[in-house]
Structure 1
Amino acid sequence: MVAQDNEMKLMDPEQLSVALIEAQYALKESKGKPNAKSVLILVSGIELAGKGEAVKQLREWVDPRYLRVKADAPQTFNHKQTFWQPYARFIPAEGQVMVMFGNWYSDLLTTAMHVSKPIDETMFDEYIESMRAYEQDLKNNNVDVIKVWFDLSWKSLQKRLDHMDPGEVHWHKLHGLDWRSKKQYDSLQKLRQRFTDDWEIIDCEKEIERDQQFAQHILRTLKHCPDHLKKAKGQWKQAKIPESLLSPSEDVLPKNQYKDELKQLSKKVAEALRFDTRNVVIAFEGMDAAGKGGSIKRIVKKLDPREYEIYTIAAPEPYELRRPYLWRFWNKIQPEEKISIFDRTWYGRVLVERIEGFANAVEWQRAYEEINRFEKDLYDSQTLVIKFWLAISKDEQEARFKAREETPHKRFKITEEDWRNRGRWDDYLKAVADMLQRTDTDYAPWHVISTNDKNTARVQVLEAILKQLKAE
């Protein structure tokens, strides 16, 4: 809800400073507790309204060591980059506060005001909808987002421009906008009114009141720390386990045929990946010993090592646990990286984290839609997501485990935990069935590949990659 600034009762500055510091330290000490969170402050507004001055004053009222500030000039959207990618690594961890001057809204306004082909109202509103969904995902993962618009009338803006230091006159064209142009000012105000209904809007005519209002909005956000939801509403509807998981195919590809097909397909896949104009993310999930590593090895066989990156995903590090669970994947997938291959993925949230209790019911049940939005954002920014579940029978897995134990250079691949996980086989099948049902989409479909015969599986993986590349 947007606060009514003209009704806000201003605190005594000294009392405000004490309250801010107390709230800041309470937030810092909340790490790991049921009400732990971080605070992300998105700042936008009219130039010369006093955004910088307000943040500077806030830093004087709080402990400046625990208030981070990121300030970048707005950029036009890159068609091969999601709106959140330039900012994802700056999402604060539990207990932290981050102010972002440059943010996805600044970029949206810059794009709408500057590109030769303007964003129409429908597309503009679609961006806003996606941004709000992303922010809701942040909030659901304990990142409280507050958005503040610093507003200034046209008349006051012109007065401030008139009184600027002669050495700073270039500021009236800051960020490519001519702030002497009433037409541009009106256009910007019209655009921002399409999305600021859930922002705190500060009238910046009076500087002292502006700074205090901003600080009190931040104080209110810092102090709002309800316990996280842990109990899901309603009863979970379990998906039916498909036959492809219960009884993976036993088809065997003759060795000579495998060698011929592998040679041809490896070359075709390398060329298709190399010359496709999009970025490609290839994601592998599967039971232990299902053949993820072997499949990846065949994908990259004809690629130059400089053309791709392979990520082997293990349990998150402590610093990653203090941020949204998708955060570590947001930061691994970058627009300049043409081919990204994942040995285990973000689906750990609805698989191992669900089964082992690392994520509560609210968290893993919510994750399906969060993942779908994540993959849709990638797809919309010209990144193709190709997903594989490698299905193996329980008997075949046992045989491979024993073979690993008896092979010196493969013993490192088998652990006590691998054997223990076999006791949760049925739980994993249920979790996989839910995953396939809820995240198999037109823009990021699942390919379920039987790996009881490794040769057949490797050929089918390559064929599936080619098929999806050509289908798009």
Structure 2
Amino acid sequence: MGKSTVESTAQKTLDTSLDQAVVQEDVVTEPLDVAHEVASIQAVPHVGQHTPDSLRLALIEAQYALRDTRDKPRGRGVVILMSGIELAGKGEALTQLRAWADPRLFKVHARMPVTPHSPVWIKDAALLPEKGEAVILFGNWYGDLLKAHMAYKQEKKSDKKKKDKDSKDSDDSQKMTGARFQRELEHLHAFEQDLRAQGITVCKCWFDLSWDGLQKRLDEVDKSEERWLNLHGLDWRDKEQYDQLQVLRTELGSDWINIDCSDASERNLKFGHIVLDALKTPRLPSPTAARRWQLAEIPAPLLLPDSSVMEKETYKARLKDAQKKFASLIRGRGDRPIVLVFEGMDAAGKGGAITRVVESLDPREYQVFPIAAPEPHELRHPYLWRFWSRLPEKFNGHVGMTIFDRSWYGRVLVERIEGLVKAGEWQSAYAEINRFERDLTSGGVIVLKFWLAISNDEQARRFTSRQQTPHKRFKITMDDWRNRKRWDDYLQSAADMFEHTNTAEAPWVIIASDDKLTARLAVLESLNRRLESVL
């Protein structure tokens, strides 16, 4: 963390926030990962010797035991991923499972593979279980990856056969190349590791069938049903494609459980035992806190924000130009989503800054989410879950720019300070957040994070003003006054946050000014500079 000199002018305040404070967009040191071990479930669980009747009772008992953890602090969820060879009997095994168990306590979501967008897990993120739930994803992010990479392989094979010397090489930037396939797998494994750390057991089942067994079953398929066999984009009569898929399956990870589907009864029984073991898998221990947590140096602008005041006429002229430029930049960015994060001290001007950012835009071009304490149903999910469904249009149907008025950083700010989570949990959150933001930026999302800082005295003045202004009284509560006693704790937490989550792809920008006009303009102008550098 480098020290910053406090400048006296509004423009120098902006330059300080961009270039000299924690954020150094051209030279950024890698964030420090908070090390913690996250064990995965066993790659091949112990499959007991239950008969179908005894398995039925064991499954139902395990389902209700899992449901009883719903509102407990250490509650658990289970997600079962089903993939494999066509005609191996995935549907039949699932039908038998629901016949043995209580079907009401399994949430099943089935879909066909789709063209994946990074992060590939985002399409199914909203379906993940809360505490006490078991969810079965019949079709999932692995199916998307496999189909896309197999399609790429077939396209390359077809291009090679054409041997057209005059044809130009195809653009692979949007395709599931081998390098991208491996990168997406790496990101997926990290995502699943974080799910396990948050109390979700991830169980992955591959329904396998030999080549000869597959061909025999294909021979028995009624002609009217053959069209359904091409939905995954594979020719199951092609031995080369079959072999390629089996090789790719070995690259998916060692935690996949292979189910031999040559015998239907044995297949169903093994699947039932695997699910039983997943339902009974205990939650992983909480992350261990560092024995001695190294506090980061507090950036100078946070300790002494700029106090100069901008002339109103100057502000109006520069604001108009900045807003016009911003509108032009975002409308010319193509299909790249934008995520803006606003954090800062209470009454630092987050709402006012956001208003000026969107003032010149069509309301259909953005969405603003004010983030408060999580609702009870949100607390039953991983803490990042409530943000996954609020991401921009490329993922979940929202408009192309999403603005968070407070965000997932509450985990390492208010939740840390108020003791709402254990030390190991907020310490491990830095690395989890970095992986989340990395997944966003690897998919083309532009992420920019602002911290708005004011002095202690200026906050007191603004609080008093709010109390005395009828239409602003709703903004001030007793908790706001109480939190002033934790001022130093918030400064330190913010400094640690900058130290561990400031990255070249998702940088922090510190706007430290007691003047509202200066801060609002600084946000827009720095936002424009960032967009110009990445577009």
Q: TM-score, normalised by structure 1?
A: 0.96
Out of 37, 44, 67, the residue aligned to residue 3 of structure 1 is 44
Amino acid aligned to 1:114? A
**Structure 1 residue 451: Cα displacement:** 3.1
Matching residue of 1:311: 369
Amino acid at match of 1:453: D
1:41 paired residue among 80, 101, 116: 80
- Partner of 1:236, secondary structure, is coil
Structure 1 stretch 168-177 or stretch 461-470: which is displaced more? Answer: 168-177
Q: Which has the higher contact order (CA 8 A, sep 6+)?
A: 2
- 2:67 aligned residue: 28
How far apart are the structure 2 equivalents of 1:196 and 1:459? 49
Instruction: Map Cα deviations across residues 174-219 of structure 1 (whole Å, 9 max, x no partner).
Output: 3221111111111111111111421111111111111111111111
Distance 1:394 1:141 in 2: 36
1:380 aligns with one of 442, 453, 465: 442
- 2:144 partner SS: helix
1:50 alignment counterpart: 89
Match of 1:2, as an amino acid? Answer: A
SS of corresponding position for 1:86: helix
Shift of the 362–77 alpha-carbon distance from structure 1 to 2, 3 Å rule, reads same
Alignment pair present for 1:183 and 2:240: yes
Letter of the 2:43 partner, please give it.
V
Equivalences for residues 384-463 of structure 1 within 5 A:
384-463=446-525
- Verify the 8 A CA contact 2:287 2:428 in the aligned structure 1: no
Which of 202, 206, 210 is the equivalent residue of 2:263? 206
| Structure 2 residue aligned with 1:369 | 431
Using a 3 Å threshold, how does the CA distance of structure 1 residues 364 and 121 change in structure 2: closer, same or farther? same
- Higher mean C-alpha displacement, 390-399 vs 352-361: 352-361
SS in 1 for 2:111: coil
For residues 131-146 of structure 1, the aligned pairs below 5 Å read: 131-146=188-203
**Alignment length, in residue pairs?**
468
The answer to whether the 8 A contact 1:150-1:203 is kept is yes
Superposed CA RMSD? 1.5
SS of the residue corresponding to residue 285 of structure 1 reads strand
Offset at 1:45? 0.3
Between 9-18 and 423-432, report the one with greater CA deviation: 9-18
Q: Deviations over 1:31-85 (max 9, x none)?
A: 232541100111100011111111111111111111011110011223xx52111
Q: Which moved more, 1:27-36 or 1:154-163?
A: 27-36
Range moving further from structure 2, 185-194 or 160-169: 160-169
Aligned to 1:224: 281
Q: How far apart are residue 253 of structure 1 and its match?
A: 1.4
The one-letter amino acid paired with 2:212 is K
Residues 231 and 360 in structure 1, CA contact (< 8 A), matched pair in contact too: no
Task: Tell me if the contact between 2:199 and 2:284 (Cα under 8 Å) persists in the aligned partners.
Answer: no
* Gap regions ≥5 residues in structure 1: none
Q: CA deviation at 1:252?
A: 1.9
Return the alpha-carbon distance in structure 1 between the equivalents of residues 69 and 532 of structure 2. 50
Moved more, 8-17 or 146-155: 8-17
> What residue is the counterpart of 1:234 in the other structure?
291
- The residue type equivalent to 2:56 in the other structure is S
Quick one: which amino acid aligns to residue 253 of structure 1? M
Cα distance in 1 between the residues matched to 2:513 and 2:391: 27
2:527 to 454, 457, 465: 465
Task: Report the Cα distance in structure 1 between the residues aligned to 2:519 and 2:230, rounded to whole angstroms.
Answer: 59
Match of 1:269 among 301, 326, 337: 326
Question: How is 1:326-345 mapped onto 2 (pairs within 5 angstroms)?
Answer: 326-334=384-392, 335=394, 336=397, 337-345=399-407
Report SS of the residue matched to 2:319: helix
**For the Cα contact (< 8 Å) 1:35–1:225, is it kept in 2?**
no
SS of the residue corresponding to residue 94 of structure 1 reads coil
Q: Does structure 1 conserve the Cα–Cα contact (< 8 Å) formed by 2:80 and 2:136?
A: yes
Q: Equivalent residues in 2 for 1:120-139 (5 A)?
A: 120-139=177-196
Q: Distance in 2 between matches of 1:289 and 1:255?
A: 21
Residue 93 of structure 1 is matched in structure 2 by 130
CA contact (8 A) 2:350 2:405 kept: yes
Q: Which amino acid aligns with 2:110?
A: A
Distance 1:276 1:35 in 2: 44
Length-normalised TM-score, structure 2: 0.85
Instruction: Please identify, of 134-143 and 241-250, the stretch whose mean Cα deviation from structure 2 is larger.
Output: 241-250
Letter of the 1:404 counterpart: R
Does the residue aligned with 1:31 lie in a helix, a strand or coil? coil
